[in-house]
Chain A
């Protein structure tokens, strides 16, 4: 996998070939993992769907859920409705997510090989040798090309090998993946010129670029089953507008390629106008003095976490709104048996669905809880905890403040997600009392998340380098929550998951006892973590 240097004889592209080889060498584990991971993800979905929804009525039922406006918002245009088969349905329902992951790979790859290199100063070293001005960007783009081509070829081969899919449509679908990956590589090539810091570049490309494109496509597709004019403004919409296996039209990909060409050209133009290491947006100056509240361990923990809490609340609020609106589609007769079981039976399917949303949100917010404690671990390992603990701040108050702020974050995010889900459900079903009911139901599921936070705090206190092991609880809870009922697991398997104990409101009545026990467990774990942290050495790497 080497590329030939296009610039023999020097010039602005000198050294591109060597740089491509260097990048591939440095990514020799990361890139194949992405490529294989993405391909296996797709293989899994294409093979799983026919097994999970074996009959025609199962398929019809799931389509009745996904075919509405809310469904289109999350999946895309529904060209398959006239001719419903696995071949037309699977790419339309899950293809958008495949492309999402491919785009993410492209963005991270581009930022990693351009802005991160400049930020660390390694680019300076490289540029000082016989390497042309445009060589690093060109090399990064070529690596992106190679990676996207590899994914596209694997996806195409897997689909062609599958009797479900026709060859022409498979090729078109894979080409859509490729073109969109390249389009976003181009967009990232522009963004890395603008932002001076890799984290800013990643946030801009993934948040504003990918998130924005996904949102525009979603809003556009809500309007009509084939999408609306608004959809066409999103690079994420173009591959889906090719309607593979239905219309099989190639021309929307011309938009993707044009987008790629324009952004790449713009990236080169901008890169020629700036110095190595500099951005086009100057970093903003901040305040010369700290605000009055920034002077306690709690103040510091809040300052470090508040942005994450805000973004999590916004993101899950948005997700909750859409999932709440989905509640109107939760009708017993139209639902596959497997799904019904997860939602707690057919008697009160709406309440069952909303109750399930609470558990689902709790597992997602548990991700935040683990990340918060991993953030504190990064503070310790990165040497930022040392000066704090060398001041008049005790071990207890440093860790305690972080746990407290993390717990507050969990409650805030759950409350916002619950209120948003309730709002979505209330507007879809025309029942305003749902807003409060669903908010309360979500808050009822905050204590299990606090248990996860406690597990992470305990690990931090006793085995700081293993703080990430708390992920196991989240993954286990998610597996039991989604597949437990289908797999007919024994009761003890459910009891081990913290998420399975709180009452399933609004399906069930509120119960105090499990909440008290969960809070006690969370408290005990945290105190054990505090005691452990008080007794161990600070571990600075």
Chain B
């Protein structure tokens, strides 16, 4: 499998602030790659470097075999991009913006365009200034998806979409994958990426800290349980893979490593469960657990780096 995106040691400084600090990222052809990180970690900066909008201070980036800075225009014919904050021209309608951006990329499939306008339930006759954030995002998405681009760079594409539209989005991305396209999907919410991505790279403070399939990253995930049991649940705290056990007002609360969940559930059943909730870990929890010591003191400063 060839890599569509390959960066090694990418560095980008904005004044005194280091936005990218030796970023290594590789995305294989035909995969949906989740690009996961908290706000301000450097996701948008990475994508802008890949688009040749920013020039990296050091390191090397290869995109579809070309150089993102020097071969920008040629590469862009085969790339579709959806920015995180979509800004539209106030006096152009959504329909005009879709067509304009599509044509500037080298043409778009009008049948698909109309299909997506329908599926995303967008009114294309409204002026750009009247759209909500979610609708502006739909405009950029439709324009990107209706192209025949090989590579889709999507920067938090569903941030403003309602759950119904997010479901449509997930469907469309699966179709894209079935057609053999490559998708780089950035997000700061693990659950959003989990359902779509074949592989995930986690970025923190301008570096990729974890990369692999979801299975590879299982060791990172730890589920939080809250249970109320008929018999005292203290024995649970002795099981392997159980952490942070707390008992308050008869409610037990603890974290379990993914590989030990089965065992814990069996043990709980024997105790007579009255109520149970389980919550997958958030990205923030996850990063905090693995890098907690380093993050304190840096995260605030990093978060200020504009995306």
- Residues of A at under 8 Å CB distance from B? 197, 199, 283-291, 294-297, 299-300, 303-304, 307, 382-384, 386-395, 535-538, 540-541
Cβ contact within 8 Å between A390 and B95 = no
Name the residue in A199, A389, A391, A541 with the highest tally of chain B Cβ atoms < 10 Å from its Cβ: A391
**Which single member of A287, A303, A383, A390 contacts B51 (CB below 8 Å)?**
A390
**Which single member of A382, A392, A538 contacts B53 (CB below 8 Å)?**
A538
- Mark interface residues in B96-116 (1 if CB within 8 Å of A CB, else 0): 111111011110000000000
**Which single member of A386, A393, A537, A540 contacts B73 (CB below 8 Å)?**
A393
Specify the chain B residue showing the minimal Cβ separation from A303.
B92
Cβ contact within 8 Å between B99 and A290 = yes
In the bound assembly, the distance between CA atoms of A394 and B73 in angstroms comes to: 6
**Which single member of B53, B96, B153 contacts A294 (CB below 8 Å)?**
B96
Name the residue in A290, A297, A300 with the highest tally of chain B Cβ atoms < 10 Å from its Cβ: A290
Cβ contact within 8 Å between A383 and B87 = yes
Asked whether B85 is an interface residue with its Cβ less than 8 Å from the other chain, the reply is: yes
Cβ contact within 8 Å between B140 and A392 = no
Report B56 CB to chain A, min CB distance, Å: 10
Report A429 CB to chain B, min CB distance, Å: 42
Specify the chain A residue showing the minimal Cβ separation from B98.
A290
Specify the chain A residue showing the minimal Cβ separation from B47.
A390
Asked whether B187 is an interface residue with its Cβ less than 8 Å from the other chain, the reply is: no
Cβ contact within 8 Å between B53 and A386 = yes
Chain A residues in 8 Å Cβ range of B91: 307
- Residues of B at under 8 Å CB distance from A? 48, 51, 53-55, 72-74, 76-77, 79, 81, 83, 85-93, 95-101, 103-106, 123-127, 129-130, 140, 153, 306
Chain A residues in 8 Å Cβ range of B106: 391-392
Cβ contact within 8 Å between B96 and A197 = no
Chain B residues in 8 Å Cβ range of A388: 101, 104
Report A207 CB to chain B, min CB distance, Å: 16
In the bound assembly, the distance between CA atoms of A245 and B72 in angstroms comes to: 70
Chain B residues in 8 Å Cβ range of A197: 129
In the bound assembly, the distance between CA atoms of A291 and B100 in angstroms comes to: 9
Nearest 9 pairs of A and B residues by beta carbon:
A295-B103, A290-B99, A286-B93, A383-B87, A391-B104, A285-B125, A288-B95, A391-B105, A290-B96
**Which single member of A287, A307, A384, A393 contacts B125 (CB below 8 Å)?**
A287
Q: Please name 21 pairs of A and B residues whose Cβ atoms are closer than 8 Å in the assembled complex, sorted by A.
A: A197-B129, A286-B126, A287-B125, A288-B124, A290-B99, A295-B99, A295-B104, A296-B104, A297-B104, A299-B100, A386-B48, A387-B81, A387-B101, A390-B76, A392-B74, A392-B104, A394-B73, A535-B55, A537-B53, A537-B54, A540-B306
Cβ contact within 8 Å between B72 and A394 = yes
Cβ contact within 8 Å between B73 and A392 = yes
Cβ contact within 8 Å between A387 and B96 = no
Cβ contact within 8 Å between A289 and B104 = no
Cβ contact within 8 Å between B95 and A289 = yes
Cβ contact within 8 Å between A290 and B100 = yes
**Which single member of A284, A286, A294, A387 contacts B83 (CB below 8 Å)?**
A387
**Which single member of B79, B96, B123, B140 contacts A287 (CB below 8 Å)?**
B96
Report A396 CB to chain B, min CB distance, Å: 9
Report A166 CB to chain B, min CB distance, Å: 51
Cβ contact within 8 Å between B124 and A390 = no
In the bound assembly, the distance between CA atoms of A49 and B115 in angstroms comes to: 69
Cβ contact within 8 Å between B79 and A390 = yes
Chain B residues in 8 Å Cβ range of A389: 51, 53, 72
Chain B residues in 8 Å Cβ range of A285: 93, 123, 125-126
Looking at chain A's contact residues, the main secondary structure is loop
Report B293 CB to chain A, min CB distance, Å: 33
Cβ contact within 8 Å between B83 and A383 = yes
Cβ contact within 8 Å between A392 and B85 = no
Chain A residues in 8 Å Cβ range of B53: 386, 389-390, 537-538
In the bound assembly, the distance between CA atoms of A538 and B14 in angstroms comes to: 12
Report A226 CB to chain B, min CB distance, Å: 44
Chain A residues in 8 Å Cβ range of B103: 290, 294-296
Specify the chain A residue showing the minimal Cβ separation from B51.
A390
Specify the chain B residue showing the minimal Cβ separation from A300.
B100
Chain A residues in 8 Å Cβ range of B105: 391-392
Specify the chain B residue showing the minimal Cβ separation from A394.
B73
Cβ contact within 8 Å between B77 and A392 = yes
Cβ contact within 8 Å between A382 and B92 = no
Chain B residues in 8 Å Cβ range of A384: 87-89
Name the residue in A284, A294, A297, A535 with the highest tally of chain B Cβ atoms < 10 Å from its Cβ: A294
Chain B residues in 8 Å Cβ range of A382: 87
Chain A residues in 8 Å Cβ range of B79: 390
Cβ contact within 8 Å between B54 and A295 = no
Specify the chain A residue showing the minimal Cβ separation from B125.
A285
Chain B residues in 8 Å Cβ range of A395: 72
Given contacts A290-B96, A296-B103, A387-B83, 7 further A-B contacts (CB under 8 A): A290-B100, A300-B100, A303-B92, A382-B87, A383-B86, A391-B101, A391-B104
Cβ contact within 8 Å between B72 and A286 = no
Name the residue in A291, A300, A540 with the highest tally of chain B Cβ atoms < 10 Å from its Cβ: A540
Cβ contact within 8 Å between A283 and B130 = yes
Chain B residues in 8 Å Cβ range of A537: 53-55
In the bound assembly, the distance between CA atoms of A540 and B84 in angstroms comes to: 13
Specify the chain A residue showing the minimal Cβ separation from B129.
A197
Chain B residues in 8 Å Cβ range of A296: 103-104
Cβ contact within 8 Å between B93 and A288 = yes
In the bound assembly, the distance between CA atoms of A540 and B86 in angstroms comes to: 12
- Known contacts: A383-B87, A392-B76, A537-B54. The answer to whether A288 contacts B125 by CB under 8 A is yes
Cβ contact within 8 Å between B101 and A286 = no
Report A307 CB to chain B, min CB distance, Å: 8
Cβ contact within 8 Å between A286 and B127 = yes
Report B123 CB to chain A, min CB distance, Å: 8
Cβ contact within 8 Å between A386 and B55 = no
Report A398 CB to chain B, min CB distance, Å: 9
Chain B residues in 8 Å Cβ range of A386: 48, 53, 83, 87
Chain B residues in 8 Å Cβ range of A393: 73, 76, 104
In the bound assembly, the distance between CA atoms of A291 and B93 in angstroms comes to: 11
Chain A residues in 8 Å Cβ range of B99: 289-290, 294-295
Report B101 CB to chain A, min CB distance, Å: 6
In the bound assembly, the distance between CA atoms of A294 and B88 in angstroms comes to: 15
Cβ contact within 8 Å between A295 and B100 = yes
In the bound assembly, the distance between CA atoms of A300 and B103 in angstroms comes to: 11
Cβ contact within 8 Å between A294 and B100 = yes
Chain B residues in 8 Å Cβ range of A300: 100, 104
Report A275 CB to chain B, min CB distance, Å: 15
Chain A residues in 8 Å Cβ range of B123: 285
- Known contacts: A391-B101, A538-B48. The answer to whether A286 contacts B85 by CB under 8 A is no
Name the residue in A283, A284, A294, A392 with the highest tally of chain B Cβ atoms < 10 Å from its Cβ: A392
**Which single member of A290, A394, A538 contacts B95 (CB below 8 Å)?**
A290
In the bound assembly, the distance between CA atoms of A384 and B73 in angstroms comes to: 18
In the bound assembly, the distance between CA atoms of A392 and B76 in angstroms comes to: 5
Cβ contact within 8 Å between B76 and A391 = yes
Chain A residues in 8 Å Cβ range of B85: 383
Chain B residues in 8 Å Cβ range of A535: 55
Specify the chain B residue showing the minimal Cβ separation from A383.
B87
In the bound assembly, the distance between CA atoms of A267 and B89 in angstroms comes to: 31
Report B206 CB to chain A, min CB distance, Å: 16
Chain A residues in 8 Å Cβ range of B77: 392
In the bound assembly, the distance between CA atoms of A294 and B83 in angstroms comes to: 21
In the bound assembly, the distance between CA atoms of A537 and B88 in angstroms comes to: 21
Chain A residues in 8 Å Cβ range of B88: 384
Chain A residues in 8 Å Cβ range of B101: 387-388, 391
- Known contacts: A295-B103, A388-B104, A390-B79. The answer to whether A287 contacts B48 by CB under 8 A is no
Chain A residues in 8 Å Cβ range of B76: 390-393
